[in-house]
Structure 1
Amino acid sequence: MEHIIEHGDYMPHGMCLLWEPWLLILWAGSDALIFLAYTAIPFALFTVLSKREDIPHAGLVALFGSFIMLCGLTHLFGIVTLWYPIYPIVGWLKLATGLVSVATALVLLKLAPALIKFPSPASMEKVNSRLRDEIAAHEETLASLERQIEERTAELKAANTTLAIQTREAVHRSGNLLSVVTSLATQTARGMDSLGDFMQIFLGRVRALANATKSIERENESSIDLGRVIDAGLKPLEEIYGDRFSYAGPELTVNPEAAQQISLALHELATNAQKYSLSASDQTFVEVNWTTSEDQFELVWREYGDDRVFPESEPPSEGFGTKLLTRVIPTMLRGQAVREFTERNMTYRLHAPLEAIVAGEQGGDSDRMAARILDQSFGLNPD
């Protein structure tokens, strides 16, 4: 083994360079720079391997680092051989470098197909860009779904609120109607001599209220066109008397309370007309008109024709029907009413604030319907 590592009989490499200073510096300086670079590269590779555990094919990287480090050592020992002929040691070092380099080459050839499949930076950027677009699309879809959920939730809340309001309104109206019917029954019964007369008048008034209520229910709304209310109440009169009966007015959407009160008033007027004027003379006619101004509503019922039918003044006796027309109904609508008798005609005028008639009035004014129609509220005394 001594002759393998013995180097005393060899010449230093500097002799081949004739010990030219500039050539020695060039040779040694170049090897020194190569050694430093070859030392820094594996140091960087081994540092990366120690910090990252997810690097694919880490063994190949370690082989590359070892190969480059050994190459750097051969250059370092090349500097030494300029002055000290340790060629056997340099030979063994080169053998080690060769073996590591061959192993690296074999591993690299084996892994070449897998390395070829590695995506390029451009393809990775393309994939990342597509993924970003998909993420943005999903985020937009999620935001849209959230907006839809918020809208549906708001719609559901609004629907529940509307349902609760309509339920309370239905209960409230039912109570009002029961109070109205109770008061009508009580007042109609006063002064009646027979059950038959009471039932005929009372049921007629109840039907007038029912017709107005049914008209609103058919519309599935909390309001109705006044023309429909009047048509429902006066259609039988028109069919019986034909051209002797007419009614007209502008389109007007009214609230349920106004529809009930106006229907009740028309029923009373129609009943009296059939009983006293239309059936008494073929020359008697009835006209019904309603108008609106900026803030007022007016309903006019006019009977005219044969002067033998109408008295010159209003009859002195005041039954519940008269009180209903001139006191109860106008009070319910926050207005006034007057019935005038002149030669050859009778005119009934109902005035009320437009806000008490039209649909959409809010507040607690409807609460007074049942209370005010009670006997005590109007001071109605038995006849």
Structure 2
Amino acid sequence: MFYNFLYPLADLFSPFNLFRYLTFRSIAAFLTALVLSFLIGGALIRWLRSKQKQGQPIRDDGPASHLMTKKGTPTMGGLLILITLSVATLLWADLTNRYVWIVLGVTLAFGAVGFWDDFLKVTKRNTKGVPGKIKLALTVAASGIAVYLIAQASPAPLRYQLAVPFLKDVLIPLGIVGFIAFGVLVIAGTSNAVNLTDGLDGLAIGPVIMASAVFGLIAYVVGNSILTNYLYLHHVPRSGELAVLLAALVGAGLGFLWFNAPPAMVFMGDTGSLAIGGALGAVAVVTKHEIVLSIVGGLFVLETVSVIVQVLSYRWTGKRVFRMAPLHHHFEQKGWAEPTIVFRFWIIAAILAMAGLATLKLR
């Protein structure tokens, strides 16, 4: 909003010229989301606690320690992320940019599905929430609409194409159906992968912050023709504006982590995990870095694979590969302390984030 209203007045007041720079607006969006989180976080948590007398229902089949240490903690803390992310993005992004509206729309749509799920869990006092098939159908539908809109906004040479990292000028034509199906897999899959990772205090939000920072840089580079020519990347005009949204997500994530650090004052819930996972997936589709997302978000992939392996192994052989899935619960059952798991998983996420960032230069 500031860009659209104040930058045109730069001839009258030269300091307004700052609003033309993505770097300035990205930093401003980061600080806005972070400070706003600190300002409203406490009040929002108190309101959630007043509405959720018993807090988030805890799984009976989960680690026994959770029934003691996490009982009574409110959920739906993802609202803090959604509010601060949305406000910061609307204030500092170019509101004529279609990519911004598409990614923000995906984020809020997935957040709405997650809010419904959390609401049912809290009001019905069980851990099931929205039936899995309905939740999957809603996220797939939202992802499909988003991918189609992204394709229409993309330059014609890149439309319905899959870019391959490490290789120069290699594009795999998928066709409209194949591209939409693949894009849905990326967005909905990332959303659910982050949701599976969100099981310990601070576990999911840390890697999300790292992945958001990396993809903020990727968006900035891919949207800059000079940098894409230098790095032999595919140029997606105007995608750089997503750096503002992702900077806001980093700020919102850090603000949420302030309250979610062990012992958590609030849980993210599906309201947050589905939303921020969907946002990362949508940005990856816009920037043609879907495969790189599987590297940057490799921790989410590991968590998801652990669940798939556990289910298939038990179904086919009657035996479990892990003591409990997702993977972080396996280490809990082995006796690792919760902060130990969180910090070690963060280290893994940081290594994977840097590995994914390195793909920008490996051509």
TM-score by length of 1: 0.27
Richer in strand (by share): 1
By relative contact order (CA 8 Å, sep 6+), the higher-ranking structure is 2
TM-score by length of 2: 0.28
Richer in helix (by share): 2
